[in-house]
Amino acid sequence: MTAVVHTGLLTARALRQGARIPVFLVMNLVQPMIWLLLFGQLFRSVVEIPGFSAAGSYLEFITPGVVMMTAMFGAAWAGTAFVQDMDRGVMDRFLTSPTSRGALVASTMVYQAVVAVGQALVVLAVAWLCGARFGSTPAETALGVLALLLAVVLLTALFSALSNATALLTGQQEALIGISQLVTLPLMFLSSAVMDTRLSADWVADVARYNPFDWAVVAGREALAASPDWGVVWGRLGLLALAALVVGRLATLAFRTRQRSA
């Protein structure tokens, strides 16, 4: 119960502060649109390659990919809030008070999820305005969008937790740059986000099968398909949820490691 209240209080703090830096808000909305329009134009003709599995336009193919890219790239920086709190005495204040450790981690996840869901809706709207169509009936479209948003939330939770654990263990913003350059960027290319992996080298397709980012992309794309295979959607969502739980738990344990070495 305390953990829930604390998560609410700390999420409110993050949202309040996010809203106080309007430039973040603008960047958060402009960036996914850049991805969508840039990749959409750059690779427009790849759908015409024989063997490309997508039924519709390339824009329809990459929309879920861009949604997940935005969510993952944003969440990879979640630890920044912890680094800032540690640079000041704010983290020490939390840790010497009854503040729930789980709530500290969860609140950054919830905050990132709120931002990422907002971004996903913007990406979907822009794609729709550019002519992309998802689902076959309005009800299916709505259900598909909800499933896609669930994948966004889980993916965000997973990478926020990873970013938080890194921040707690190293205390350095530089380490977060490492995550974003060495982890998320390769994961993005080793997936079907912008390219059908059936057309890539075999090993890329193999790696993608174990890539949590690809789970989210596949789940989101399948959910928005004309006739979704819900087994695929729920299977990938389940894997994502499991991964998020494990890494979330590790992030909470990082507080203890931090105390032992402090």
Torsion of CA 47, 53, 54, 57, to 10 degrees: 20
Which member of 96, 137, 139, 201 binds other proteins (CB under 8 A)? 96
Task: With H, G, I as helix, E, B as strand and everything else as coil, classify residue 68.
Answer: helix
Considering only 5-13, 59-67, 148-156, 194-202, which stretch makes contact with other proteins by CB under 8 A?
Answer: 5-13
Which member of 61, 77, 94, 134 binds other proteins (CB under 8 A)? 94
Handedness of CA 161, 207, 183, 230 (dihedral sign): negative
Q: Does 231 bind other proteins (CB under 8 A)?
A: no
Residue closer to other proteins (CB basis): 21 or 42:
21
Alpha-carbon distance of 76 to 62, in angstroms, equals: 21
Number of chain residues interacting with other proteins (CB under 8 A): 28
Which member of 22, 98, 138, 231 binds other proteins (CB under 8 A)? 98
Q: Which positions from 153 through 192 interact with other proteins, judged by CB under 8 A?
A: 171
DSSP state, residue 55:
S
For residue 49, give the nearest of 156, 195, 256, 257 by alpha carbon. Answer: 195
Contacts with other proteins, 47-86, as mask; x by CB under 8 A: ---------------------------------------x
Torsion of CA 192, 194, 199, 203, to 10 degrees: -50
Q: Does 111 bind other proteins (CB under 8 A)?
A: no
Alpha-carbon distance of 137 to 123, in angstroms, equals: 20
Which member of 27, 44, 92, 142 binds other proteins (CB under 8 A)? 92
For residue 179, give the nearest of 189, 190, 167, 191 by alpha carbon. Answer: 167
Q: Does 130 bind other proteins (CB under 8 A)?
A: no
**Interface residues toward other proteins, by CB under 8 A:** 2, 5-6, 9, 13, 16-17, 20-21, 86-90, 92-99, 171, 258-262
